[in-house]
Amino acid sequence: MITCNDGTGTGFYISAEKIVTARHVVEGCDEATITNNDGKTTTATVKYLDPVNDIATLIAVKTVADIVTLSLETLTVGSKIQIVGTPINGLVLSSGDISRIYPKEAEFSFELEVPGDFGNSGGPVFLDGKVVGLVNAKDGYGHLFGLDATAITDTINEVQVKTKTNTVTAIISNEGALAFSVLLNVLLIILSLTLFVSRRKSKENSIVINI
């Protein structure tokens, strides 16, 4: 379970420290509390909020749950799935199937025919033991909706690209500062030499005048 301010949701570990959940679960939080089914807790920093998809990544202080495996398997209507969430106190496993597939540009990837509630947001959708998506919405009729593993992978890749970009920017900034420092030192040396030559000429001129 992920607790952020007064709200709760669900998430899952994709590595020893990285957690994926729905963006709206942790939006407005810098840090969240992670609680597993045995009551063990840790804290996690919100790393990235995807501006397009309702997906977020967090970096946890420690691992308190199993690490899952993402699968990019193509989902079809009728695929038998399971979801794990925390709509009540503790994890709940529910079974159902995919009832509708949406086009890639849609807000959701699929619709689920499975019981669930708002605490399921951010929880994993399993197919044959692997995570093929996450739950991120529910309509007024009780239907759940989700985003597939491709959307999750796109978000993870976006985080990596931004991290590399920030690193390169920092390197360029440092190199720029170094170049400016070198240029400044060169200018100071030139200025010093100019002043030295100017003073020497002035002294020579003074000697000529005195003679």
Catalytic residues: 24, 54, 121
In one letter, which amino acid is 107? E
At residue 75, the 3 state secondary structure works out as coil
**Counting beta carbons within 10 angstroms of the beta carbon of residue 149, is it exposed (0 to 12), middle (13 to 18) or buried (19 or more)?**
buried
Query: Structure tokens of 32?
Result: 């969240």
Are 44 and 61 contacting, i.e. CB atoms less than 8 angstroms apart? Answer: yes
